Chain A
Amino acid sequence: MANEIIKEQINKEYEWGWSFDIEAETAPKGLNEEIIRFISYKKNEPDWLLDFRLKAFRYWKEMSHPNWAHLKFEIPHFQDIIYYAAPKKKNISSLDEVDPEILKMFERLGIPLEEQKILAGVTPNIAIDAVLDSVSVKTTFREVLAEKGIIFCSFSEAVQNHPDLVKKYLGSVVPYTDNFYAALNSAVFSDGSFCYIPKGVRCPMELSTYFRINTAGTGQFERTLIIADEESYVSYLEGCTAPRRDENQLHAAVVEIVAHRNAEVKYSTVQNWYPGDKEGKGGVFNFVTKRGICLEDNSKISWTQVETGSAITWKYPSVILKGNNSVGEFYSIALTNNYQQADTGTKMIHIGKNTRSTIVSKGIAAGFSENNYRGLVQIRKGASNARNYTQCDSLLLSDKCGAHTFPYIEVKDTTAIVEHEATTGKISEEQLFYCQQRGIDKEKAVSIIVNGYCKDILNKLPMEFAVEAQKLLEISLEGSVG
């Protein structure tokens, strides 16, 4: 039923007519081939990319909205979304021109935009690509990275300057046919980050993308592509935020990672999109496809995520373990409060021999929220001696919230060893009383205990992020104690 409505919506004649100012900063609401051509035109894209978008769009039009997740929400009105919004100012060349709000946010996160400071060693080494709405605002540190042959730039720039790389890898991990939102993203993505680490290079600093949804009524569809060539290493951070808005905003990103022989990619996310208010009004729909492929032998991809924001989170950062001896990891903290819903987990697809994967998931549910772990461990035929270890813990902070675990295990090779452990618990009255007896109030006590519960995963984050994540957990728990 719902899908019928969407199809109708999508196919409906675009009510504002076809023609609009091609020089406009913002596309009109809605989605059709015209809009896609507009986006592609705005970005001066080569034909093959427009082609990719159009194919994706045509494919998407025929798709049904998925409904298998344990989530309740109204399907976005795809014709009410603005698919392209350039920031008000263009060609930002100095920090003064960057939205002070963003700078404040960076500061709060401890992420410096100011290269001088970083170079002076005052602040930690992080290169940032900031994506505001859909356009990359500023990429710091590019020269330093360039010396090592590392390419770190906005996706659009990569399309202009490194089209061969983009063409080779775009859609190679997440094809546009993968799922509804991946198809949508492939059709309309407007920017994102691109990163290439050449053979034998260890990236000397953390690379970071910072996303922010600003303009009302816009969706955000970034596209991130990370390629780690042979023997290379990179640690990549992603932070997100969106201002408070009463309406739901759609964020449907795609992240693709490719790790070649002996390469390692660490991808860390702290997701703090606006979660909606106490009554569950507003908030971001975070429907993201993240996947990496360990393409060749001895490669490693590691996802670490701290998810505290968004009204709805629907994502499964995954690893395809194709190369022999390759390693996939997924470490996750998902905290939901009030009416937030999260359906998150991972897929570990073992194809190569001696491949190993580790999954550690901590779900914390408070208020009326729903917090689900959903994970697939697939051992294909021929993936001899593959190993997986999964640990899934849930912590319930109220009796009105829910936590569910949906583990799917498919083993087609008899030499594989797959272990799964799961626990569900509550914070004990004794623990709370103990903290209170030491002078710590209940709310702070809950946050201390939750932070302790998540410590193993917080430890996987780069230092600056770990501190921020800890604070975030505390903020997100506000009001969770009756």
Chain B
Amino acid sequence: MSLLSIKNLHVTVDGNDILKGINLDINSGEIHAIMGPNGSGKSTLSYVLAGKEGYEVTEGEIIFNGKNILELSPEDRAREGIFLAFQYPVEIPGVNNIQFLRTALNSIRQYKGLEPIEASDFLKLVKEKQKDLDLPANLINRSLNDGFSGGEKKKNEIFQLSVLNPLLAVLDETDSGLDIDALKIVAQGVNRYHNKDNAVLVITHYQRLLEYIVPDYVHILYKGKIIKSGDKTLALELEKSGYEAFKVEI
């Protein structure tokens, strides 16, 4: 059984058809990449998975870990194990980064019937992940994303990912805004997180990220449809020829 199964998904936003019949199956242990031109609907897909308000599913279904999640609130989807690393992480002034993460972790644990994490265990976990991602201590103790540089915000998303340890990580252009070193560190972070029990869906414009986070499958999203799927070589092909070459195949 696949971890995520999307069938014939149609989505409208403010009355506009954005996704027009997406089919996608992701198994535990896999890494998938979605590439596609600006405005093709990549972020839309991630928002629909996460349950953002205003994204109306007019047709199709999403089954995650055996559950139809379309009826679930955004927080419950997160608690079920869907994590979205945002393309544009928001700033929440005055809210301590670590406190926030602890609240998030404990909300998820509570949903699963677990006790809140011990403060010392949490600190240990945080320290470990912070080191992995080479995050300065003062950064994780600042207000959530408040005044973070673009790259710092992206790193912080992966930091949250590694602490929350979800079943499915959707990374929306996590590579954009990262310098070369940071890109490697972030990719390492994702690879460290990834194991046979979880899955990663990487949204990106560039082949470069996929050199570090190597996908099992690459999908090309074009005008709200997946027009081609293949293995990692598809990304290379795309880099050479651009989207024009694939358009004719539709």
B residues 162-181 in Cβ contact with A at 8 Å: 164
| Contact call A452/B164, Cβ cutoff below 8 A | no
- Known interface pairs A429-B53, A437-B84; 15 further A-B residue pairs with C-beta atoms within 8 A, sorted by A's residue number: A433-B53, A435-B100, A436-B51, A436-B75, A437-B50, A437-B78, A438-B100, A438-B107, A438-B164, A439-B107, A439-B108, A439-B164, A440-B103, A452-B144, A453-B93
**Across the interface, do A452 and B160 meet the contact criterion of CB distance under 8 Å?**
no
B111 on interface, CB distance cutoff 8 Å = yes
A418 to B238 alpha-carbon distance, docked (Å): 61
A431 near B: Cβ within 8 Å? yes
* CB neighbours of B107 from chain A (8 A): 438-441, 444
For B95-111 the 0/1 string (1 means CB < 8 A from A) is 10000110111011001
Q: Which residue of chain B lies nearest to A445 when distances are taken between CB atoms in the complex? A: B75
Is B248 in contact with chain A by the CB < 8 A criterion? no
Complex CA gap A439/B106 in Å reads 9
Asked whether A448 and B103 contact (CB < 8 A) given A434-B89, A434-B92, A437-B78, the answer is yes
Partner of B90, one of A431, A440, A448: A431
Q: How far is the CA of A310 from the CA of B217 in the complex (A)?
A: 60
Nearest CB of B to A401, in Å: 21
Contact A439:B78 (CB < 8 A) given known A429-B53, A433-B53, A448-B103: yes
0/1 interface trace, chain A 425-457, chain B, CB 8 Å (1 if under) = 000111101111111111010001101111110
Interface bin, chain B = 20 to 34
Interface residues of A in 363-385 (CB under 8 A from B): none
* Docked complex: B1-58 residues within 8 A CB-CB of A: 50-53
Given A431-B92, A451-B94, A452-B93: A440 and B143 within 8 A (CB)?
no
Are A428 and B90 within 8 A (Cβ)? yes
Task: Please determine whether A452 and B75 come into contact, CB atoms closer than 8 angstroms.
Answer: no
**Is A434's CB under 8 angstroms from B94's CB?**
no
Q: Which residues of A contact B94 (CB under 8 A)?
A: 451-456
Residues of B close to A440: CB separation below 8 A? 75, 103-104, 107
Q: What are 27 A-to-B residue pairs whose CB atoms are below 8 Å?
A: A431-B90, A433-B50, A433-B52, A433-B74, A434-B89, A435-B104, A436-B51, A436-B74, A436-B75, A436-B78, A437-B78, A437-B83, A437-B84, A438-B78, A438-B100, A438-B101, A438-B104, A438-B107, A439-B78, A439-B105, A439-B108, A439-B164, A440-B103, A441-B73, A444-B107, A453-B94, A454-B94
Report A-chain residues with C-beta under 8 Å of the C-beta of B51.
436
Chain A residues with CB under 8 A of B160: 438
**Shortest Cβ gap from B169 to chain A (Å):** 12
**Nearest-neighbor residue (CB-CB) of A441 within chain B:** B75
Closest to B108 in A: A439
B193 interface contact, C-beta 8 A? no
Which residues from A are CB-within-8-Å of B75?
Answer: 436-437, 439-442
Task: Rank and list the top 5 A-B pairs by shortest CB-CB distance, nearest first.
Answer: A452-B94, A455-B94, A452-B95, A438-B104, A436-B74
Q: Please tell me if B79 contacts chain A, counting CB pairs below 8 Å.
A: yes
Note all chain B residues with C-beta closer than 8 A to A437: 50, 74-75, 78, 83-84, 86
Q: Using CB atoms, name the residue of chain B closest to A438.
A: B104
Which residues of chain A from 398 to 438 have a CB within 8 Å of any chain B CB? 428-431, 433-438
User: Whole-angstrom distance from the CB of B47 to the nearest CB of chain A?
Assistant: 8
Contact of A439 among B79, B86, B89, B144 (CB under 8 A): B79
For A449, the chain B residues whose CB sits under 8 A away are: 92, 95
Instruction: Point out residues on A near B: beta carbons under 8 Å.
Output: 428-431, 433-442, 444, 448-449, 451-456
* Complex Cα gap A274–B83 (Å): 41
Dominant SS among interface residues on chain A: helix
Q: Is the CB of A430 within 8 A of B90?
A: yes
Taking a contact as CB atoms under 8 Å apart, the answer to whether A434 and B108 are in contact is: no
| A449: nearest chain-B partner, CB-CB | B92
Asked if B95 and A448 sit within 8 Å, CB to CB, the answer is: yes
Tell me which residues across on chain A come within 8 A of B53, comparing CB atoms: 429, 433
Mark B50-87 against chain A: 1 for CB-CB distance below 8 A, else 0. 11110000000000000000000111001100011010
Shortest CB distance B113–A (Å): 14
Contact B95 A451 (CB under 8 A): yes
Tell me the chain B residues, 192-223 only, with Cβ under 8 Å from chain A: none
In the bound complex, how far is the Cα of B73 from the Cα of A371, in angstroms? 31
Greatest chain B CB density within 10 A among A430, A436, A441, A455 is at A436
Chain B residues near A448: list those with CB within 8 A. 92, 95, 100, 103
Cβ-defined contact, A439 with B90, below 8 A: no
If A429-B53, A442-B75 touch, whether A434 touches B104 (CB-CB below 8 Å) is no
Residues of A within 8 A of B104 (CB): 435, 438-440
Which residues from A are CB-within-8-Å of B164?
438-439
Q: Specify the chain A residue showing the minimal Cβ separation from B50.
A: A437
CB-nearest residue of chain B to A427: B92
- In the bound complex, residues from chain B placing their C-beta under 8 Å from that of A436 are 51, 73-75, 78
Partner among B73, B86, B143 whose Cβ is within 8 Å of the Cβ of A434? B86
**Chain B residues whose C-beta falls within 8 Å of the C-beta of A453 in the assembled complex:** 93-94
Q: Name the A residues within 8 Å of B74 (CB-CB).
A: 433, 436-437
CB distance from A391 to the nearest CB of B (A): 14
User: Bound state CA distance, A347 and B179, in angstroms?
Assistant: 51
Q: Which residues of A contact B83 (CB under 8 A)?
A: 437
State whether A452 touches B50 (Cβ < 8 A).
Answer: no
Which residues of chain B are near A435, meaning CB under 8 Å? Answer: 92, 100, 104
Q: Which of A428, A429, A437, A453 has the largest number of chain B CB atoms within 10 A?
A: A437
List chain A residues, Cβ under 8 A from B78: 436-439
Complex Cα gap A436–B78 (Å): 7
The interface centre, meaning the residue of B52, B75, B78 with most chain A CB atoms within 10 A of its CB, is B75
Q: Smallest distance from the beta carbon of B21 to chain A beta carbons, Å?
A: 25
Chain B residues closer than 8 Å to A434, beta-carbon distance: 86, 89-90, 92
A111 to chain B, nearest CB (A): 24
Bound complex: CA of A99 vs CA of B243, how far in Å?
76
**Bound complex: CA of A455 vs CA of B160, how far in Å?**
22
**Chain A positions within 8 Å of B101 at CB level:** 438
Q: How many whole Å from B140's CB to the nearest CB in chain A? A: 15
Query: Shortest beta-carbon distance, A246 to chain B, in Å?
Result: 35
> A442: nearest residue on chain B (CB-CB)?
B75
Task: Name the distance in Å between B137's Cβ and chain A's nearest Cβ.
Answer: 19
Closest to B145 in A: A434
Interfacial chain B residues near A429, Cβ < 8 Å: 53
